[in-house]
Amino acid sequence: MTTTTATSGSSASNRRDAALVALRAQTIELPSWAFGNSGTRFKVFSTPGVPRDPYEKISDAAQVHRFTGAAPRVSLHIPWDLVDDFGKLAAHAADEGVAIGAINSNVFQDDDYRLGSLCNPDPRVRAKAVRHHLDCLDVMRQTGSRDLKVWLADGLNYPGQDDLRARQDRLAEGLRQIYAELDPGMRLLLEYKFFEPAFYATDVPDWGTSLLHCLALGPQAEVVLDTGHHAPGTNIEFVVAQLLRAGRLGAFDFNSRFYADDDLIVGAADPFQLFRIMNEIVRADALRPDSGVNFMLDQCHNIEPKIPGQIRSVTNVQEATAKALLVDREALAAAQAAGDVLGANGVLMDAYNTDVRPLLVELREAQGLPADPYAAYAGSGYAERIAADRVGGHQAGWGA
Ligand code: AOS
Ligand code: ZN
Ligand code: ZN
């Protein structure tokens, strides 16, 4: 393996400088539901100091931004984060130094949705699901959000249960009605998931289905890639490259999976995969905040403390990004053009194997941030304060 490319020559220091600039501009959006209690169907463990309402979720998210400087937005989930006055919630976010990001719809928790939402055979239920999304657009107008994120639990448990093709037609029609109500500058982001809660067939199972619907809708519709929503062994960076080529990668839901949709801390299960994903992002110059890719987390912290879990997630994304930024693109292109299989692989691995933690310390110190956000939060006394002040926090979803 070559060991010279990532660290030698003046171009190595240029790459380092360019990496610092790019990392400074990078932002990662946090999910409000990461701060509530969550668990499995077996048990939801409660955490002392867990938020009692959406205001407190935002305050906790603001702590992650305070110590990392890289997480200035919070995604909301409707109705989990329903409040009387979203303008007031947005003002609270601004007071805390953050903004409200994507609005996630929820058409999976009412009894009406037993057979699906936008794909449901009953037109009354389909109309209700469309209406919920229009309500979400109203929330976005009050919060100043750009992105409506749509994940549907629609699907079938048994072959023959419903008509696969008719469900796609209903889906296209429902999405069309929602899309028609977007304001200029708003986006509809359609997430896919290959299984769960439906076990036989999911109505938006993969990036191809999501992309086809987005292409039919128009330029304000883009795909959300949740890293946990693929079959084991899927080459996710290929999907990233393909969606970027099509100009339709709207956002990530970052997390880690071992077996299913585990929603664990991003970069915990497979930091190399996260590096390969970020490598495709850097390769396509899609890291820039104006590139249109919203880097969001979609995670739950069932047994670990939530704010430190989010801090670790942000720093994991930063580490993978820093490594991707250090790839010697010229050396890589030369090795690839020469058909130098091991040389090209070596260039990539040199970057992956670089310890970027000192670079990130430099990044943080230059911004007046703590060198170690995790330790700084632990020493801040915030966790002890909320544990003493807040009594009766809720489960992530149904507590708001
Ligand atoms: C569900 O599996 C998806 O990942 C969605 O993004 C969902 O809205 C999110 O996990 C919050 O429940
Ligand atoms: Zn997701
Ligand atoms: Zn998921």
Q: How close is the Cα of 34 to the center of ligand 3, in Å? A: 12
> Scanning the structure block, which residue is given the tokens 């959406």?
54
Q: Tens digits of per-residue pLDDT, 267-301?
A: 999 999 999 999 999 999 999 989 999 999 999 99
Contact assessment for residue 34 and residue 263, using Cβ atoms and an 8 Å cutoff:
no
Find the range with the poorest average confidence among 134-143, 302-311, 383-392. Answer: 383-392
Q: How close is the Cα of 253 to the center of ligand 2, in Å? A: 5
Give the separation between CA 10 and CA 24, rounded to whole angstroms.
22
Contact assessment for residue 325 and residue 20, using Cβ atoms and an 8 Å cutoff:
no
Task: Among 133, 298, 301, name the best residue to mutate to test ligand 1's pocket (greatest count of ligand atoms within 8 A of Cβ).
Answer: 298
- Tell me which residue of 32, 48, 35 sits closest to 385, measured CA to CA: 48
Q: Which two tokens stand for residue 263?
A: 């929603």
| Cα Dmax for the chain | 66
**Ion ligand 2: residue ranges with CB closer than 5 A:** 226, 253, 298
pTM: 0.95
Per the DSSP assignment, residues forming a β-bridge with 44 are 39
- pLDDT attached to residue 289: 87
Question: Does ligand 1 have an atom closer than 6 angstroms to the CB of 192?
Answer: no
Give the separation between CA 143 and CA 400, rounded to whole angstroms.
17
Q: How close is the Cα of 310 to the center of ligand 3, in Å? A: 17
Atom 7 of ligand 1, residue of closest alpha carbon = 151
Percent of the chain with pLDDT strictly greater than 70:
95
Confidence of residue 400 (pLDDT cuts 50, 70, 90): very low
For residue 100, give the DSSP letter.
E
Across the range 29-38, mean pLDDT stands at: 97
Q: Tens digits of per-residue pLDDT, 54-79?
A: 999 999 999 999 999 999 999 999 99
Give the separation between CA 100 and CA 109, rounded to whole angstroms.
23
Question: In whole angstroms, what separates CA 291 from the centre of its chain?
Answer: 15
Task: Collect all residues with Cβ–Cβ distance below 8 Å to 368 and sequence separation of at least 6.
Answer: none
- The kind and range of the H/E element at 253 are strand 249-254
Residue 371 pLDDT greater than 60, yes or no = yes
- Tell me which residue of 199, 382, 224 sits closest to 297, measured CA to CA: 224
Atom nearest to 191 CA in ligand 1: 6
Tell me the domains of the chain and their CATH numbers: 24-317+376-389 (3.20.20.150)
- pLDDT attached to residue 6: 44
Residue 210 pLDDT greater than 80, yes or no = yes
- pLDDT attached to residue 97: 98
Confidence of residue 391 (pLDDT cuts 50, 70, 90): confident
Atom 10 of ligand 1, residue of closest alpha carbon = 298
Confidence of residue 395 (pLDDT cuts 50, 70, 90): low
Per the DSSP assignment, residues forming a β-bridge with 249 are 223
Confidence of residue 1 (pLDDT cuts 50, 70, 90): very low
Q: Tens digits of per-residue pLDDT, 38-56?
A: 999 999 999 999 999 999 9
- pLDDT attached to residue 302: 96
Give the separation between CA 289 and CA 280, rounded to whole angstroms.
16
Q: What is the dihedral of CA 257, 310, 192, 323, to 10 degrees?
A: -70
Q: Which long-range contacts (CB under 8 A, 24 or more apart) does 50-55 make?
A: 50/306, 50/390, 50/393, 50/394, 51/390, 51/393, 51/394, 52/390, 52/391, 52/392, 52/393, 52/394, 52/399, 53/83, 53/400, 54/81, 54/82, 54/83, 54/89, 54/400, 55/83, 55/89, 55/92
Question: Does ligand 1 have an atom closer than 6 angstroms to the CB of 193?
Answer: yes
Task: Collect all residues with Cβ–Cβ distance below 8 Å to 163 and sequence separation of at least 6.
Answer: none
What are the backbone dihedrals phi and psi of residue 225, each rounded to the nearest 5 degrees, phi first? Answer: -105, 110
Question: How, if at all, do strands 187-191 and 221-226 pair?
Answer: parallel
ipTM of the complex: 0.96
Question: Does ligand 1 have an atom closer than 6 angstroms to the CB of 253?
Answer: yes
Confidence of residue 393 (pLDDT cuts 50, 70, 90): low
Task: Collect all residues with Cβ–Cβ distance below 8 Å to 116 and sequence separation of at least 6.
Answer: 125, 152, 153, 154, 155, 162, 167, 203
Q: Which alpha helices (H) appear in 115-163, and where do they start and end?
A: 123-143
Question: Does ligand 1 have an atom closer than 6 angstroms to the CB of 80?
Answer: no
In terms of Cβ atoms closer than 10 Å to its own Cβ (0-12, 13-18, 19+), residue 252 is buried
Task: Among 40, 109, 149, 191, name the best residue to mutate to test ligand 1's pocket (greatest count of ligand atoms within 8 A of Cβ).
Answer: 191
Question: How, if at all, do strands 155-156 and 99-104 pair?
Answer: unpaired
* Helix, strand, coil share of the chain (percent; to 5): 50, 10, 40
Q: How close is the Cα of 260 to the center of ligand 1, in Å? A: 13
Question: Does ligand 1 have an atom closer than 6 angstroms to the CB of 261?
Answer: yes
Question: Does ligand 1 have an atom closer than 6 angstroms to the CB of 96?
Answer: no
Across the range 199-203, mean pLDDT stands at: 98
